[in-house]
Structure 1
């Protein structure tokens, strides 16, 4: 029996695979990933949009109307707009963040890139992302796409995950290591 986390992951994976397959077949991977980047920024920057996507109190019809109204504002391409309509009508807008992450990984794989999950205490600016990509490309010998997240509990520094490999240079981990060393 699958746990609810496993079901959610597989559900998001199915939706993401369907969207990516459609984007690939229509040769619109770049347009779809740009639209998903715009949606991801909106989820991060707008508490109203994040609430619309995650709230079980918003009905499917109301969610579909709200999404349709936001599509032009966020410059969403038609393929992604149709996909959002399907998500809202199926009551699956809560899966959007996971779908975005999986589509980014699929697109990176399609382009021959590796995806690095990067968590930092505050949002990285474009210059920091470019420097990180350059350093990781030098280390791995191929292009790297960055899936950036913010976790203020890190206090500072950065955590980079590349598949099963993890580089943890966060202040939180350093403080925990120091506290353990002082105890023992």
Structure 2
């Protein structure tokens, strides 16, 4: 069901409603932090995803777990939003709703998402260099960086911003050399 038009019909209105509440109460950035924390939690726990998506588990049990996970870090409005998703049986779309909220937040702040694939975790200086490169490529005011590790690159990075791809990886350079050599023969 994920990736279908039904999913989009569910995800977009909920993300837009969350953004409307955030703007009304001047909580846009706080909700941005909350959805990032929720996404991290969901990505780290396959069990939590299965628990929330299980239709047999009672709504009250799901709400209790979400409240316990939220603690004091997640804003009460966000916790209420999570409970609404449980009541309406839409909690299985939580990750997609969070990602859509982040997209709306980037649009609001005139920011872009740069997906960076590297062989090792980037340090702060390297992230800043990527940020500057992306700012020079786009008309964005800010850059959100999402990193991914891929040991097959051999070295360097691949930066994806929307449909633009900058392949500065060793594997990419070797591929380009190979193509160049094959053309010259």
Same fold (TM over 0.5): yes
Partner of 1:155: 152
> Over alpha carbons, which structure has the higher Rg?
2
Deviations 1:120-177 (A, max 9, x none): 367855624433222211222433332626475x733655443333335567777888
Q: Aligned pair 1:9/2:8, yes or no?
A: yes
Q: 1:126 to 1:22 in 2, by over 3 A?
A: farther
Per mean C-alpha deviation after superposition, the further-off stretch among 84-93 and 167-176 is 167-176
Counterpart check, 1:69 vs 2:68 = yes
Aligned equivalents of 2:169 and 2:4: distance in 1? Answer: 26
Map of 1:97 onto structure 2: 95
In structure 1, the residue matched to 2:136 is: 138
Instruction: Give distance in 1, aligned partners of 2:52 and 2:176.
Output: 38
Q: Which moved more, 1:16-25 or 1:140-149?
A: 140-149
Gaps of 5+ in 1: none
Q: CA deviation at 1:29?
A: 0.3
Structure 1 Cα separation of the partners of residues 173 and 49 of structure 2? 32
Partner of 1:120: 117
Query: Kindly tell me: are residues 96 and 135 of structure 1, through their superposed partners in 2, closer, same or farther at Cα, counting changes over 3 Å?
Result: same
Counterpart secondary structure, 1:155: helix
Give me the CA root mean square deviation.
Answer: 3.4
**How far apart, CA to CA, are the structure 2 residues paired with 1:56 and 1:150?**
32
In the TM superposition, what whole-angstrom CA distance separates every residue of 1:41-65 from its partner, at most 9, and x where no partner exists? 1122233333333444433332112
Q: More deviation in 18-27 or 93-102?
A: 93-102
1:164 to 2:163 alignment: yes
Residues 113 and 143, structure 2, Cα contact 8 Å, conserved in 1: yes
